[in-house]
Structure 1
Amino acid sequence: MVSDTVQGPAPDTHTPVVFCWHMHQPDYRDHSTGEFLFPWVYLHCIKDYVDMAAHLEAHPEARAVVNFSPILLEQIEDYLVQIERWRHGGTVISDPVLAALVADTLPEPGSTAFLTLMDKCLRANPERIIGRFAAFQRLAELAEIYRSRPDIQRYLSRQFLADLVVWYHLGWIGETVRRSHPIIRSLQEKSHDYSLEDRRSLFDVIAELIAGIGPRYRHLADAGQVELAMNPWGHPIVPLLLDLQSVKETLPEAPLPQYSQYPGGQQRARWHLEEGKRVFNRFFCREPVGCWASEGALSQQTLALLGEQGFQWTASGDSVLHNSVKPVLEQKKLRAPPGIHRPYSFGDAPITVFFRDDGLSDLIGFSYADWHAKDAVGDLVHHMEKIVMNTGDQANRVISVILDGENAWEYFPENGYHFLDELYGVLADHPHLRLSTYQAVLAEPRCKPEHLPHLVAGSWIYGTFSTWIGDRDTNRAWDLLCEAKQHYDKAMDNGTLSTEQKVLASRQLGLCESSDWFWWFGDYNPAEVVRDFEHLYRRHLVNLYEAIGYQPPASLFQPLSQGGGAPARGGAMRPGHEA
């Protein structure tokens, strides 16, 4: 929340500023075939996860929390395994876009496979990625002619596609790599007529970058620069698994699915946390202290479950705090709202909750991309300084900036290079602000959370669950999931599945329980992306039915949602407050 009134002198102590960067991609694999249907995991690896680590490495005094979803970590592992299998035995890589880099022969011009790969290699920001490079822009313009003139398609050469595949990956390469890696610089300077040897040298760079993700973040954590956190394994909305009726705490009139509760939700929520910790520990060789519950979705039940699982902190959006404070104020048990810039506890849940400053976080996500980096950082720091001036309870003050650590930078010049470099540089040397982590804040003896009797259920988006439940499309998706869960429960109990089959079925169910599919349903979102995600959701459900030996219902083959909107930032990010 941004304040404009400056009062009183600057304090003598440093106020902790915690940046919590959330890294998450849902499972893009069709587990019936093993194919990656979309390349977003490895593309974000070579662009955002690499860059975010490099900026912290360049500023040893900087600190941040980095939250990784376990299902993302598993997909990174899958890519590494496939890359090594290809190197040692020539096994085909199951992501068609990455596989094209090392393919001996690319699809024939005029073929469906040629057009499909061409379209996949143009799914990038048209201004910041494609338009930045003249050679990539020329290829994109040629592709438009190709689409509009089927009669000339056969006359294009495979070289066009080879160059397009190379430029697609060069465009997605992280800025810190682009500025320093000799192979990347050499390929950019060549600009066209790439050989198979060129493509494979680029593949080697990509493999090196993906392989470095785990070790680099582990090293940053060992050095005390980064606190690594997690969310539940498949990124479900935990409060809705526990109680679909919790949506009524903020939206009492919201229509609900035909199923009034998700069957066995308590057990499933616990499974996501336990499975998530297992994957996190394997990847990072440590136990997580904090859990950014998927989409900052919390309820009093969720806090109890997180505490039971041993987590010491979690976080959400400031609207959740406002909703939780309101009844206490109405009962005159508080003289004034205690504010968002401090830790909290709720009821008897043994866990500390921090709250996202939506104003500050959304400035990064939605405003600063078009600003000069120095001006943007200066404005952000100025707002933080005013918060320090105007906030009492100096000992407990903490400023939380929580947002997507990957999609935001696509809209900044050069993947946010100048902004992030300036941000860490300024804050690492500020006289009254101190970059920190939630684990470090909790370890300070002066940290005494404000106690409130009850947390009102909600998420960081608007303080409600309206993004994932309550309209026609999302409710229908919940009904399909609940129906599948009932068949799953019968199959798990009737003795027909082996232990291994049960494990695989449980994981497949976990994919279906992800929040990501529900996020994209509805007319608000772009039609192309809605089509991708609702197809993937239905594919995961079909695979679940096959895993438990049931015939998928015909309703699963009917599209759920069409989209057609044009939201800011393509719908991948949303502001914390409604306009």
Structure 2
Amino acid sequence: MADLAFLWHMHQPDYRHPESGHFVLPWVLLHAIKDYSDMASHLERHPGVRCTVNFVPVLLDQIEDYCDQLATRQWRDPLLRIAAHPAPDELTPEDRAWLLDMAFRCHAPTMLEPFAPYRRLRDLLAFVRVQDANALSYLSGHYYADLATWFLLAWTGESLRRDGQVVPELMAKGDAFTLADRQRLLAELGGVLAGLIPRYRALGECGQVELSCTPANHPLAPLLIDFGTAREAWPESTLPSAPEYPGGRSRVQAHLAAAVASHAQRFGKAPSGLWPAEGALSAPFLNQIGDAGFRWTASSHGVLRHSAGNQAPTTIPWQPPEGTPGDLTLFFRNEHLSDLIGFEYARWHGRDAAQHFMTELKAIHIRDKEALIPVFLDGENAWEYYPYNAWYFFSDLYDTLENNSAIRTVTLSQAAATQRTRRTRLPRLTAGSWVYGTLSTWIGNPDKNRAWDLLCEVKQCADRALQGDRLTPDERAAVERRLAVCESSDWFWWLGDYNSPQSVACFDGLFRENLKSLYRLLRLPVPVGLDHPISHGGGSPESGGTMRRAT
């Protein structure tokens, strides 16, 4: 019997302004009410399907922040503040501008075009924008209230539309949403947010789902440890001016320890497995994962190919190279099957896509009756490109898998146990990620390298302050928390001319705000260079093909 091991990776970076605590972007909220909710619902409706779900602690932190906002009505997200405003005609110019900039950011063919009232709001704005400079002032509070409501409705998951009460009623009503309507919607969404972590914990406790983790703030650990690892799979890579990230190994250890603590607190026990940020592994990082007590970790076939040759199969688990601490099992994702779900099947009818996927699985099973089939991808960013948020694809796929006797779904810990005798020793590990098997998405571009240099400079200042006596214990803790946010891989992902200028500018600015905040926490002057954008359209040799980002 072949083992199919799904891993659904759930991650969003910290979108909160470092000093106000207000959300600059609403993607955690929107993915929570659409994707995290729907993915739990699919599993709850198909108890025979097993899989691994990976949560990054910084995402869970933000989900809990939204739970607090929706419980207390102390708004730190402008979308919620606008939706809850009792007198929309009195919205500030800043809130109006924010909503007009954000409220049509979605995949229009599946999330906007199907809804005539939402289309009307878009078309009204398009008409007004081509008039004179003051034309936007003619948009009433009624317009903004409806727009905020429809932005939330468009991002609700299919499970809420089918099983909820308020969402289908408001979608049918279409416009002229009252304060009472909006309050009912926020109350229902508050229930969704509050239920997410308990729902996944329950799925984990019954054994259907294994819950795994990622280092706390999603750092690109191989680069924190050694910039030179970028050249293992990409020898021509240019590197930052700084020779290394100061104290990188200890910072990786801190992220690992924080992830274990977060997981135990939220899900009741320590995690067995670790999905590294961006699937990025290196030999030194692997040693730290083993020392931390994890039983399995994973990456992609590109990394396996660079480490063991083009013919190395993903259909078996692997042992780390000799000398790696602990008893780790390594898994490498089947890129073809994972990318079919992530990028191809959105254009298919759900049933056809599910049947095609099963045909691909059966072909692997024919070649190897005991094959391991690892399918790893984001559990959040692909579904907006599917009709009905991939509801029909998952319904047909999970139905078929529950009734298939040749292919069983397993968690990765189950796969490590059932496939243990098939483990093969990896001769060496070449550092890389699940994007082309290299680290080029996070280093090697002039803008990315400049960002690393800026981070290295503030880290040196932080090290001096933390080794001295001038910071209080509370100040030291605040410095370490802010430093962890600055070390996220996402800042480096977005820099480069292959991303939209709008997204690059936003992440560039938020990264620099975090660096500025860290200097202030250290009671040091902020370098004037941080007032200027990092990104100048420097270009990148490659662009990612395994993940979609929220914006």
Deviations 1:147-183 (A, max 9, x none): 2223333333211111111111111110011012121
- 1:154 match: secondary structure: helix
Q: CA deviation at 1:116?
A: 2.4
Deviations 1:87-145 (A, max 9, x none): xxxxx311010122212222548945323222222222222111121110101111112
Q: Does 1:190 align with 2:173?
A: yes
- Does the CA contact (< 8 Å) of 2:212 and 2:273 recur in 1? yes
- Does the CA contact (< 8 Å) of 1:241 and 1:266 recur in 2? yes
- 2:482 match: secondary structure: helix
- Does the CA contact (< 8 Å) of 2:377 and 2:547 recur in 1? no
Change (3 A) 1:109 1:290: closer
- 1:35 match: secondary structure: coil
Could you tell me which residue of structure 2 aligns to residue 173 of structure 1?
Answer: 156
1:222-233 mapped onto 2 (5 Å cutoff): 222-233=205-216
Could you tell me which residue of structure 1 aligns to residue 455 of structure 2?
Answer: 481
Could you tell me which residue of structure 2 aligns to residue 125 of structure 1?
Answer: 107
Aligned residues: 544
Q: Distance in 1 between matches of 2:91 and 2:53?
A: 43
Change (3 A) 1:302 1:74: same
- Does the CA contact (< 8 Å) of 1:73 and 1:280 recur in 2? no
Identity of aligned residues (%): 41
Q: Distance in 2 between matches of 1:483 and 1:523?
A: 24
TM-score (norm 1): 0.91
TM-score (norm 2): 0.95
What's the RMSD between the two structures over aligned residues? 2.0
Q: Which runs of 4+ in 1 moved over 6 A?
A: 564-568
Amino acid at match of 1:234: N
Could you tell me which residue of structure 1 aligns to residue 200 of structure 2?
Answer: 217
Could you tell me which residue of structure 1 aligns to residue 306 of structure 2?
Answer: 323
Q: Does 1:412 align with 2:399?
A: no
Amino acid at match of 1:406: E
1:556-571 mapped onto 2 (5 Å cutoff): 556-562=530-536
Q: Does 1:31 align with 2:13?
A: no
Q: Does 1:21 align with 2:8?
A: yes
Deviations 1:175-206 (A, max 9, x none): 01101212111111111111000000000011
Q: Distance in 2 between matches of 1:446 and 1:40?
A: 39
Q: CA deviation at 1:448?
A: 3.8
- 2:274 match: secondary structure: coil
**Which stretches in structure 1 are left out of the alignment for 5+ residues?**
1-13, 87-91, 330-336
Change (3 A) 1:23 1:267: same
Q: Does 1:134 align with 2:116?
A: yes
- Does the CA contact (< 8 Å) of 1:324 and 1:455 recur in 2? yes
Change (3 A) 1:123 1:446: closer
1:153-302 mapped onto 2 (5 Å cutoff): 153-302=136-285
Q: CA deviation at 1:563?
A: 5.3
- 2:163 match: secondary structure: coil
Amino acid at match of 2:107: N
Could you tell me which residue of structure 2 aligns to residue 426 of structure 1?
Answer: 400
Deviations 1:513-568 (A, max 9, x none): 10001001101111111111111111111111111111121121111115599999
Q: Distance in 2 between matches of 1:567 and 1:132?
A: 37
Change (3 A) 1:324 1:564: closer
> Which of the residues 325, 348, 371 maps onto 1:371?
348
Q: Does 1:354 align with 2:331?
A: yes
- Does the CA contact (< 8 Å) of 2:447 and 2:496 recur in 1? yes
- Does the CA contact (< 8 Å) of 1:342 and 1:398 recur in 2? yes
Could you tell me which residue of structure 1 aligns to residue 418 of structure 2?
Answer: 444
Could you tell me which residue of structure 2 aligns to residue 7 of structure 1?
Answer: none
Mean CA deviation greater in 99-108 or 276-285: 99-108
Amino acid at match of 1:17: L
Q: Distance in 2 between matches of 1:212 and 1:573?
A: 32
- Does the CA contact (< 8 Å) of 2:49 and 2:402 recur in 1? yes
**Which stretches in structure 2 are left out of the alignment for 5+ residues?**
none
Change (3 A) 1:562 1:145: farther
Could you tell me which residue of structure 2 aligns to residue 332 of structure 1?
Answer: none
Amino acid at match of 1:383: E
- Does the CA contact (< 8 Å) of 2:440 and 2:541 recur in 1? no
- Does the CA contact (< 8 Å) of 1:526 and 1:564 recur in 2? no
- Does the CA contact (< 8 Å) of 1:525 and 1:567 recur in 2? no
Could you tell me which residue of structure 2 aligns to residue 47 of structure 1?
Answer: 34
Q: Does 1:469 align with 2:432?
A: no
Q: CA deviation at 1:446?
A: 5.0
